[in-house]
Amino acid sequence: MDGFEKGWMNLIIKLRNIALAGLVFVALITTGMMPSFADAKWYDADIQDANRWLIVPESMQQESYDGFITRGDFAEILVRAYLSSGGNFDDLNYKSYFEDTNTIYPDLVYYLQMVTGYPDGTFKPDGKIKREEMFVMIDRFTQLISRQEPQEVTEASLLATKAYLETRIIDSKSLNDWSVPAVERLLKQGIISGGGTGLISPKISTTRAQALIMVKKAIELYRYSPISSRQMSYRLNEVAYLEVYNDPSRYFTSRGSYSRGNWNRFNDENNDGSTRNYRPRSLEEIYTPEQLLVMLGNNSVKYALVFGSADAQRYQTAEEAQKHMVSIAVDVWILNSNGTKSKGIKYLTVNESIAGIVKEVFQDIFDGPEKFPIKNVGGYSWRVSETSEHRWGLAIDINSNENYMIKPDGTVVAGSYWKPGLDPYSIKPDGDVVRAFKAHGFTWGGDAWSSSNDYMHFSFLGW
């Protein structure tokens, strides 16, 4: 057989193999035995990230992400994204803005100035949200969490923006003028891209997957990590605390008036015509002691655990404080000179009331997949400051040199640097250490205050 004949024979064999492969593929389809990768979706990894950011509503987790999202559901996603990125509603003078909604989320996105609703005063929560509407709401969300001032739109700037979009988006001319600036910003930020087609399809509805992914991208531009799941749970409870559409008595008690917020709309009349005023319940009336114990910040349960009651006097001298301190040993990972890690033990002094909690925290860190190495750890230390939790044995510092304390102006107060992901001793915002401490009610100095970032510091009362 010469070379020409061999070539034809090889070609015939290849064609036969391809045909056989096609038959096998058809057989798999007809018998329902497709490989498991056929069940994978293009958005699976992004949805996992969205869950890490805690922005996926529980009701949506049972739905198909390929289905179209409603305006009401998208409002809930934005509220969760706002909370996950560190926002709160502490200063909310709450009232209901829309008459056609049965949840609080549309009112909250209105309060956050992400949406204005329709001219007739409705929100249409069950309507499918158009991509163009979604672009504007996401743009307002990014401006909110990045603290950017809205830019004035002039006729000249609008024309320039339209010209810019026409060079990058095939269907940009179908945009309404009110969405053009938002689309430009999202395009430049990489939140939208037009895919490989150059189309953004502003007039069609949006799938749940598309909505979640775009909001996730927006958060990741300005935040390194989400708050803890426990903290999100409590913040969502606070949102529910405001949601008094159907039964205000669930959330209020009739022990006199309450000055904070617009609560008068929930007052009603007694049989004799007099007004009965409701007030919001206290934390102790809403949460169980177990919940309050692991809630970030201070509350009566934590004070009672440490000092006997919320009104008890704090330790005034080092001698008095030392009577309540104990030394504990905790398992830690030691980073060896050759890069390997081995088990070690560290000792620290803490308040006797939280010794068991601290041991649980360090055990969680030790058992974590990160195997975070601990070079040094400090607890009780009598400080001059009357608000220092170190003087009460309620604060813990870890790897102080590699997790510095720094002021907004760049002044380093303690330590040398903070390089999470580069230096193994630097604490990652989304790592095992932060998660373990927050899960047990400790505030992390790395994201708790605007006055400074104290990346080594964890405190039981949030100071």
**Could you give the residue ranges of the DSSP H alpha helices within 223-316?**
229-242, 283-286, 289-293, 300-307
Q: What is the pTM of this model?
A: 0.51
| Backbone Cα Rg of the chain | 28
Please write the tens of the pLDDT for every residue from 216-243: 999 988 887 787 776 777 777 777 766 5
The count of other CB atoms within 10 Å of the CB of residue 424 is 19
Q: What is the pLDDT of residue 284?
A: 64
Q: What is the pLDDT of residue 276?
A: 43
Please write the tens of the pLDDT for every residue from 72-126: 999 999 999 999 888 877 667 667 788 888 788 998 999 888 998 888 888 999 9
Q: Which residue has the tokens 């994204």?
A: 81
CA pair distance 260, 60, nearest whole angstrom:
33
Q: What is the pLDDT of residue 381?
A: 94
User: How far is CA 202 from each of CA 69, 132, 194, 214, 348, rounded to the nearest angstrom?
Assistant: 15, 4, 11, 14, 59
Please identify every stretch of the chain with a pLDDT value under 50, giving residue numbers as ranges: 1-9, 11-38, 244-280
Q: What is the DSSP string of 323-345?
A: TTEEEEEEEEEEE-TTS-EEEEE
Query: Which of these, 216, 168, 210, lies nearest to 188 by C-alpha position?
Result: 168
Q: What is the pLDDT of residue 257?
A: 30
Q: What is the DSSP string of 159-190?
A: HHHHHHHHTT-TTGGGS-GGGHHHHHHHHHHT
Q: How many Cα atoms within 13 Å fall on the side-chain side of residue 175?
A: 28
Q: What is the pLDDT of residue 333?
A: 97
